[in-house]
Structures are given as structure tokens and as C-alpha cells.
């Protein structure tokens, strides 16, 4: 056995893990980063980046298809799956190379291999043991399935869907959350017949119900079918098709079934519980400063209960590195973490939904305002419909900002600032939003909530 000693040992090189490693190295710590696959994790290689590249390719396809409505003579001849793959892989490769260079430049020791937590604290990789004054657990998540639903063949997870070398003629998507909605958007833009099956009452069910309904209207207009409020009974497949049966007796036949029912924490068989790290349904429990129940062991990212978002993990990694260094960083609660679904149209939000605000403060204390993007000049130019919704305490701060429409994900940072700083609409109303921009729609909502609507009655 060979022992190695560092100030910080990070198990997992995804968004949370590499962020912790980079920030700790920047603060002068010696760091070992242990990763069994590639630094960058799911987000860079099998999640955020490749799927958003697909979504951009889908946007290009839609633009070509609809070019005549803008006075442009163009047509869509078809989708080249290998060309799309090459574009997507080129983006990932470039970002991966840049991240590798950054990690190397910071003097971080990257250890390739599967690690497990041991006493010390330390992480064992084969015959080598890496001791750290502190250890950060950042082992990420995996695609879940349902009991009795075996992944394989024509039943896919999002990772398998990325590797398809064809454009399906038809797809059923089990799960109407972020992953399911994004793949539905891509495949429909590429010409597939798509049906989304969601057991809850709305698509993107964690969003404000106004946003869900707006997305559903947009999907109907695009020809994306969906079944809401009914659970899966079973799915069977042959060599060239899959049949999905719901509990109400409805059946759907398609080329593929995409299972997008959420992601589970990667914590099994890694020595966590054996070394005193408490788990709850597989997730690592921590205090609000992200300490686990084991001394000098911390946890970040998808293994910590809450939003499973790359940027949340990234922020938590920075937070833990600074906490270990004694800098006492500011805690960012999940309610202040922005959320974006990159479908066509996009859904973006931060803070409380109207229902959550009413539950927390009472119906009489909450005011919400919706501004339709039909009144926004830039949205009209882009050809997108949608709306902006702002929720506030009556005569008090903004509690939530919710948007649906193409490109609205770029606006949510302003919403995050408003919610995080507990701003009142009256504080923001005097500030100018450039014209013509979609950000004016947010400005209109703030104006209306401050009692002086401009372009709304």
C-alpha cells in the first residue's frame, strides 16, 4: 500500500468536485482529485453541455424550416445525425481540453480510478490511499428507472439517447421533467413524433403552474403530445419497436422509450456508511455548511438532497473549499438557485412559486403579476410566445420570478438578484431595461407590481 497526503482529497471530478479542487488550489491547498472517468463528469460529457448542443442544433433546424416566415428563402433538407454528433462532440472535446488545462495549471493531482472512503479521512484507489486533512465527496448521480422497467435495447436513459446514431421516427418519453421535456423538444425539431407521459398533473411539475400551462400550450402548438396524471403500467419491446401501456389502459407504440424519471445519488458501495457518513434514501445528509456526520468529510452536488443542478454543485464546491479555508462564505439556499429548462420554449425560474408563497405567507399577503410576451417587441421579432410572472409579498420583497419563452434563460440572473437581495419591485422599477430586449418584460412586471404599469392595462 502506498500512502499519499494532501490538504484536500476530492472524490469525484464533476461540477461540484472540480470546482472544490480548483478553488482550494487557488487558496494554496494541495489537492488530489479522484475521478473514475473524465474530469467534468456527467454535466460536461453526458448531460448539460452535449444536450444543450443538441438543443441548439434543433433550434437551427427550426429556423431553417420556418425561414420563409422571415422573408428568407431557405429550406430544411433533413437532419444529418453524424454531422450533429460531430458538432456536439467537438464542443465537449474543446471544453474538456480547456478544463484539463485549467486543472493542470492549478497544480492539482488528478488520480484516475474508482475510489472508496476510508478512515483518516482518506480515499482508497486500488493499492494507493490518499489521505486528506479534509475529504470532499462529490460522486454525482445516475439515471433512475422504475421497478420492473429494465433499461436496454429500445428502452433508453438520457445517456443512451445521446449515443443514438439515428433520428427516431417516434418516441415515447416517460417523465415530463427537465430531461424529458428537453429531449421531447429536440426530437420534435428533428422531425420525430413525440409523446410525453407524466404521472403528475403538469409538465415540468416543479415549476409554477402558470409556466407549466404555458409550456403545455406551446408543446401542443408544436405537435408534441403528452399524457398527464396517469402512471406507467408496463413497457414491452421487440427488435424494432416498443409498446408502452398506462394504468388507464392507453397504449403507445414507438421506435424508442426514453426513461427520464429523475436521477439518483451515486453513494452505494463507496464506503460512506462504513466510515460514519449518514445517508437518507441514498443521499448524503449534511448540515447547512455541507459537513457530513463524519469528521472532516464534506459533501457537494447531486448526492446532497435538493436541486440536482450542475451550477448548484459548482457553487457548493466553491463554498466548501472556502469554508475549509476559514473564509466563512455566504450560504446560498436552494430557493435562490436559478433553474432553466432549455426546451423550445425555455422555462426559467428562481425563488418561490405562487403556491409556495401562499403556503408560506398566506393568500392575503401575496401578490403575483403576469406579463405576456406578446407585448414585448423583441419577443415578437424572435417569434416567441410566453410570459413573465413575478411573485411578491404585498408591499414587501420579491419572492419568485418565473419565465417561459425562447431565450428567457438568459434573463433569470436578474431574477436571482431580485430574490436574493429581497428587493421590492419599487426598488427595481426606476432602473432602465434596454429597448428592444426581452428583459423589458421583466421590467414591465416590476413596474406593474409597483403600481405603475406602462404597456399593460
Residues with a known catalytic role:
435
Please name the residue that has the C-alpha cell 418565473.
402
Cα–Cα distance, 327 to 73 (Å, whole number):
58
Contacts of 396 (CB under 8 A, 6+ apart): 365, 424
Selection from 158, 169, 56 nearest residue 409 by Cα: 56
User: Would you give the distance in Å from CA 264 to the centre of its chain?
Assistant: 14
Reduced to 3 states, what is the DSSP secondary structure of residue 93? helix
Asked if residue 197 lies in contact with residue 227, where contact means CB atoms within 8 angstroms, the answer is yes
Cα–Cα distance, 256 to 240 (Å, whole number):
9
Reduced to 3 states, what is the DSSP secondary structure of residue 208? coil
Cα–Cα distance, 134 to 117 (Å, whole number):
12
Asked if residue 408 lies in contact with residue 438, where contact means CB atoms within 8 angstroms, the answer is yes
Q: What's the alpha-carbon Rg for the chain, to the nearest Å?
A: 23
Question: Which cell is 326 given?
Answer: 476559514
Question: How far is it between the farthest Cα atoms of the chain?
Answer: 74
Sort 76 into a burial class: Cβ within 10 Å, 0-12 / 13-18 / 19+. middle
Q: Which residues pair with 134 in a beta bridge?
A: 8
Amino acid at each position: 500500500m502506498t500512502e499519499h497526503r494532501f490538504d484536500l482529497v476530492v472524490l469525484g471530478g464533476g461540477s461540484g468536485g472540480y470546482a472544490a479542487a480548483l478553488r482550494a488550489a487557488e487558496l494554496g491547498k494541495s489537492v488530489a482529485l479522484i475521478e473514475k472517468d473524465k474530469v467534468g463528469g456527467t454535466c460536461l460529457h453526458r448531460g448539460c453541455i452535449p444536450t444543450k448542443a443538441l438543443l441548439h442544433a434543433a433550434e437551427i433546424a427550426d429556423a431553417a424550416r420556418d425561414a420563409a416566415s422571415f422573408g428568407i428563402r431557405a429550406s430544411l433538407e433533413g437532419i444529418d445525425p453524424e454531422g450533429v454528433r460531430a458538432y456536439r462532440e467537438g464542443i465537449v472535446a474543446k471544453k474538456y481540453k480547456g478544463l484539463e488545462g485549467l486543472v493542470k495549471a492549478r497544480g492539482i493531482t488528478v488520480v484516475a480510478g474508482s475510489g472508496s472512503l476510508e478512515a483518516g479521512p482518506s480515499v482508497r484507489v486500488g493499492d494507493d490511499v490518499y489521505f486528506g486533512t479534509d475529504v470532499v465527496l462529490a460522486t454525482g448521480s445516475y439515471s433512475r428507472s422504475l421497478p420492473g422497467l429494465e433499461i436496454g435495447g429500445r428502452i433508453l436513459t438520457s445517456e443512451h439517447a445521446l449515443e443514438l446514431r439515428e433520428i427516431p421516427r417516434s418516441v415515447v418519453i416517460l417523465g415530463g421533467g427537465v430531461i424529458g421535456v428537453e429531449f421531447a423538444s429536440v426530437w420534435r425539431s428533428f422531425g420525430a413524433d413525440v409523446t410525453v407521459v407524466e404521472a403528475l398533473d403538469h409538465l415540468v411539475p416543479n415549476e409554477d403552474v402558470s409556466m407549466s400551462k404555458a409550456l403545455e400550450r406551446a408543446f401542443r402548438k408544436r405537435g408534441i403530445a403528452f399524457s398527464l396524471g396517469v402512471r406507467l403500467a408496463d413497457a414491452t419491446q421487440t427488435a424494432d419497436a416498443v409498446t408502452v401501456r398506462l394504468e388507464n389502459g392507453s397504449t403507445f407504440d414507438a421506435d424508442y422509450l426514453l426513461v427520464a424519471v429523475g436521477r439518483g445519488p451515486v453513494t452505494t458501495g463507496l464506503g460512506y456508511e462504513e466510515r460514519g457518513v449518514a445517508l437518507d434514501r441514498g443521499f448524503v445528509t449534511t448540515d447547512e455548511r455541507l459537513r457530513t456526520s463524519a469528521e472532516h468529510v464534506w459533501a457537494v452536488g447531486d448526492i446532497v438532497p435538493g436541486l440536482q443542478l450542475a451550477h448548484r454543485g459548482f457553487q457548493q464546491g466553491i463554498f466548501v473549499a472556502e469554508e475549509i479555508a476559514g473564509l466563512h462564505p455566504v450560504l446560498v439556499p436552494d430557493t435562490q438557485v436559478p433553474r432553466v429548462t432549455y426546451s423550445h420554449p425555455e422555462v426559467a425560474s428562481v425563488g418561490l412559486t405562487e403556491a409556495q408563497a401562499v403556503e408560506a405567507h398566506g393568500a392575503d399577503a401575496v401578490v403575483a403579476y403576469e406579463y405576456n410576451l406578446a407585448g414585448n417587441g423583441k419577443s415578437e421579432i424572435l417569434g416567441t410566445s410566453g410570459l413573465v410572472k413575478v411573485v411578491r409579498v404585498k408591499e414587501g420583497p420579491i419572492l419568485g420570478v418565473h419565465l417561459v419563452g425562447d431565450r428567457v434563460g438568459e434573463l433569470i440572473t436578474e431574477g436571482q438578484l431580485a430574490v436574493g437581495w429581497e428587493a421590492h419591485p419599487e426598488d427595481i422599477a426606476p432602473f432602465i431595461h434596454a429597448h428592444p430586449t426581452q428583459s423589458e418584460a421583466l421590467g414591465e412586471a416590476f413596474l406593474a407590481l409597483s403600481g405603475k404599469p406602462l404597456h399593460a392595462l
